[in-house]
Structure formats: C-alpha cells, structure tokens
A and B are shown apart, each in its own frame.
Chain A
Amino acid sequence: MHLHLKIWRQKNGDQPGKFVSYELPEVDEGSSFLEMLDIMNEQMVSKGEEPVAFDHDCREGICGMCSLVINGEAHGPQRATTACQLHMRHFKDGDTITIEPWRAKAFPVVKDLVVDRTAFDKVIQAGGFITARTGSAQDANEVPIPKPVADKAMDAAACIGCGACVAACPNGSAMLFTSAKAGHLNLLPQGKAEKDERTLKMVEAMDKAGFGNCTNYGECQAVCPKEITLDFIAKMNRDYATARVRKFFSKAC
C-alpha cells in the first residue's frame, strides 16, 4: 500500500515544530505501525536525512513507551490497542495519516514525537507504592483478598502509564492514570495503611505537575489501551473526600 504521512517534526523543546509530509510507497499490510516508521526512517537515514524520533520499547503493548497520536486519536483508531500493536491492515491504500506527539503542558515535547513523561513519575513518587519491610516474601495466602477485589485491583494495575489518557483529554487531565495507580493500591489490604496519605499526595502531585481537571468527558477511557474505566476516577473522588474529612478531624485530637 502507498501512504501519505504528515508527521510532526520538532528539533527540541525550545524550537517550534511543524508538520512535514512524507510519501511512503509499498508498505506491507502485515507490518505494525512502528515497523512502518522504522522502514521510513531507514530510507531517510540512507538518504542522509534526520530520522523521525519516536518512543518505543517492548512493542508488545506492555511497557507504555509508544505514544503516538494517529489521525487525532491517541494510539490510533483501534480500541484497546497500543500504537505498537496497531497494524497497517487497519489503513487503506492511499490514506493520509497524521502522526503527532502527545500534547499536554505537563508532557513537553523532547524531539519530534517523543515527549517527556516525568510528570507521571512525580505522581508515582508521591504515593504509588506501599511501604513494606524487605526480606523474604510473605506466604501468598497469608493475606486473604476476596476475588472481586483482587480482580478490580488487577484491572487498575493493568495501567501501563503510557499517558494516552492525558493526550486524549481536552483538559490535559491525568485523573485516569492517577486514579488507576492510587486505586490499585487503595483496594488491596497491603495498600490500606497508607490509603489516605497516598490519595492526598498523589492528587497534590498531579495538580502540581500542571495537569488539567477532569470534566467527565470520558475521552480517556475511550482511548485507554488497557480499558481502564472512569470507575477508578469516581473511586479516587470518594477516597480523596474521605481522606480530607478524616485528616480534618484527626488534626483536632
């Protein structure tokens, strides 16, 4: 298949970027989206041009590195699919495809299609962990966890931190990510001890990083490659409210 590509090129964070058009003849339908970019980059390198920088690592949908907005949609047109798992058979011969980086104030462009997602690390550092003594692991069945709770926590833990939720949100909000990361631990007995502290701190870190506020559009859920739902945002809203109330009253005594 023959493709017309419109790709965002930007030297670095200080200089403004722009779209550049490329023609790519003979793309194999069976190749993945990132392989298509690899082929294009090889051709560019052989012509002595600067290849297009894009993030990727596992290429099997589990690391969360790939981060492309394809035709205006984070990770492209396929639901529950990362850009690395997207295949060219979902496009037609002669298609024009626009490829852009995640766009959010909290995710500045580093180069071309690569953005800096340190803001997510800050949210995790604020509370996306449990404090546990190191040493030999506890017996797996020592802490009973009801199956529905374990399942729900697992749904949240499926978040790969790619940032598609922020990219798709018209408000640049990171609530789906933060709520998945907080919710995953808040649901489990191991996370209960630090639940209030975690929720308050992660929300604070999220606000500080310059993410927007949720207005309940639902765009994040629609693009999430791991199909994480707004349920977790509702849960975070609940957990945060109870944490604030408890903190308010515990100050008094």
Chain B
Amino acid sequence: MSATESCRIPSLVKKYLMAISGLVLVLFIVGHMLGNLQFFIGPEVINAYAFHLHHLPGAPVSLWLIRSSLLGALVVHVWMAILLTKENRAARPEDYLGQKTRVATYAARTMPVTGVLILAFVVFHILQYTTRVVPVDYNQTIGQSAIEVGHVELEYFDVFAMMVSGFSSPLISFFYIVTMGLLCMHLSHGVASMFQSVGLRNESWRPKLKCAAAIFGWVIFLGFASIPASVLAGYGEPYLSAKETAWANAPVTPPPSSH
C-alpha cells in the first residue's frame, strides 16, 4: 500500500464532509438571497441592511468569524470535491464503447464542472462587491446616501447604487444570470444528495427530496437572477443617475474623491 493510500480519508467521511460543508453553503445562500431581495424594497432598506451587516453585535470579530466559517466550508467542500473527482476518475479509467446513462441526471454528472464555474464566480463576485475593485473602484465612483438606523439619520455607502451600476453592464449581468443557472443545477443534485450522504434518505423520500431540491434550485436561481435582470430592464436607473449628478455636484465626505 502506498503512502497516499494509507492516509486516504475514508470514502464515507469524505461524503459527510461534502454534505456538511454543502449544507453550510446552502444555508448561507438562502440568507444571502433573502438579504439581497431587499434590493426590490428600495435603496434605503438595502443600504441600511448593508450597514447592519457590517455593524453586527460584536463586529468586526463576529463578521470575521462568519466569514472564516464560510471560507472554511468552501475550502473543505472544494478540497473534498477534488479528492472525490480524482479518485473516481482513477477507479473507472475507461468508458464503454456504447456508454449509456440510465438514471444519472445531467446535473449529477456535471457537479465538478458546475462547481468549478461557481468557484470562479465566487472569486469575481467578492472582488466586485466586497473588496470593490473590479471592474471599477466603486469606493471612488459610488458615494454615500442617507439611511436611518435606530431613528438616527446617517450617511452610508450606497450599496443600491453600486448594484445598479454593476449590473448595468449587460456582460456582467449575463455572467451573473448564467452562473446562477449553474448554481441551480448544482443544487438540484447537491441538496438531494446531501441527505443520501448522511444516510437520511429512503425509497419513499428519494423522489420527494429530488423534487424539493429542484424547486429549491429554481427558487435560488429566480431570487438571485431577478436582480441583474431587473437592472437590465431599467430598474434603479433613474435613482443611479440622480445620485451620480448629486455626487458630482457635491462630493460627499470621506473618502475625499480625487476625480
């Protein structure tokens, strides 16, 4: 037995880690979608939500705790995905001449591909809206707007304007919508698979869970994709141009913009 084989993580442990890390990501994604949907209630609401996220009780420690557990889950998930995919390819080195698929869904067979594309998306997404450096430096182009926090008016970074500005690029919007479609596929297999991996599935639950996972995937897709789609259709555009004129005329307090 080679060294790599002797310290191979047991197959079922890999499946548990895959399922549990997947569940953490799934829970995050539900929360993230619900939070984002406040985009449709109006600028003040989502801007205040952004303020609250950055000022959670115990911030910044609590924020970094949440971020690091999400990153941890993602690392475990991708790491296990790489191990599983590598071992599985090695265990079945060649295909059959008349290779047939009886029941495995397209979504199931493309898990590693959709996973890698989602990962690429996550990197871009963080660079765009968290660090705000791609495709433009939003800290420079987007100013502040009034929000109300605990009956106090204050000025805060205008997240709503940033989202409208970002998604007014058809290319970026298209990229977001396509990736959410891939996420929908990944979840339509993953969410049902998760139950099987930890042993919580049987013949009578399998079709129900499969159906529930597909519905879940579609809800996630529609929830997220509705945002870039609505901006492409013109939502938020009057607000953004009004704000841009205002910021150009009276550049707001810190950071002092140089343009």
Interface residue count on the A side (C-beta < 8 Å): 50
Q: A203-B11, A223-B102, A241-B16 are in contact. Are A212 and B196 (CB under 8 A)?
A: no
Instruction: Name the one of A169, A229, A240 contacting B12, with C-beta atoms under 8 angstroms.
Output: A240
Q: Which of A168, A211, A216, A234 meets B102, CB within 8 Å? A: A168
- Residue with the greatest number of chain B CB neighbours at <10 A, chosen from A71, A173, A217, A244: A217
A215 within 8 A of B: yes
User: Provided the pairs A216-B197, A237-B197, A241-B12 are in contact, do residues A170 and B88 lie with their beta carbons within 8 angstroms?
Assistant: yes
CB under 8 Å from chain B, chain A span 203-252: 203-204, 206-208, 210-219, 221-223, 229-231, 233-241, 244
A199 to B97, alpha carbons, bound, how many Å? 35
**B-chain residues with CB within 8 Å of residue A203 when the two chains form the complex:** 10-12
B99: Cβ under 8 A from any A Cβ: yes
User: Is the C-beta of A22 less than 8 angstroms from some C-beta in chain B?
Assistant: no
Asked whether, in the complex, the Cβ of A170 is within 8 Å of the Cβ of B104, the reply is yes
Identify which of A26-34, A96-104, A184-192 touches chain B.
A96-104
**In angstroms, how far is the closest chain B Cβ from the Cβ of A194?**
18
- If over half of A's interface residues share one DSSP class (helix, strand or loop), that class is named, otherwise mixed; here it is mixed
Q: How far is the CA of A240 from the CA of B16 in the complex (A)?
A: 10
Q: Is the CB of A233 within 8 A of B196?
A: yes
Contact residues on B (Cβ < 8 Å of other chain), bracket: 35 or more
B1 within 8 A of A: yes
Q: Chain A residues with Cβ under 8 A from B196's Cβ?
A: 216, 230, 233-234, 237
Bound-state Cα–Cα, A121 to B5, Å: 20
**A106 on the interface (CB 8 Å rule)?**
yes
With both beta carbons as reference points, the residue of chain A lying nearest to B99 in the complex is identified as A72
Chain A residue numbers with a CB within 8 Å of B197 are 216, 237
Nearest CB in chain B to that of A212: its residue: B91
Give the contacting residue for A214; candidates B8, B15, B202, B203; CB below 8 A: B15
A189 to chain B, nearest CB (A): 21
Name the B residues within 8 Å of A241 (CB-CB): 12, 16, 198-199
**Docked CA distance A229–B104 (Å):** 14
A215-B102 contact given A104-B91, A238-B199, CB 8 Å threshold: no
Chain B residues within 8 Å of A72, by CB: 96-100
Q: Is the CB of A215 within 8 A of B88?
A: yes
Does A112 count as interface, using CB distance less than 8 angstroms?
A: no
A interface footprint on B84-115 (CB within 8 Å = 1, 0 otherwise)? 10011011111111111111100011010000
Q: Could you show 23 A-B contacts with beta carbons less than 8 Å apart?
A: A98-B98, A105-B93, A169-B92, A170-B109, A171-B88, A203-B11, A203-B12, A206-B11, A210-B91, A213-B14, A213-B88, A215-B111, A216-B192, A216-B197, A219-B102, A221-B103, A230-B196, A231-B201, A233-B196, A234-B200, A237-B16, A238-B200, A240-B12
4 shortest interchain CB distances as A-B pairs: A238-B199, A212-B91, A172-B91, A72-B98
Write the residues of chain B forming the contact surface with A, with a CB cutoff of 8 angstroms. Answer: 1, 5, 8, 10-16, 84, 87-88, 90-104, 108-109, 111, 189, 192-193, 196-203, 206
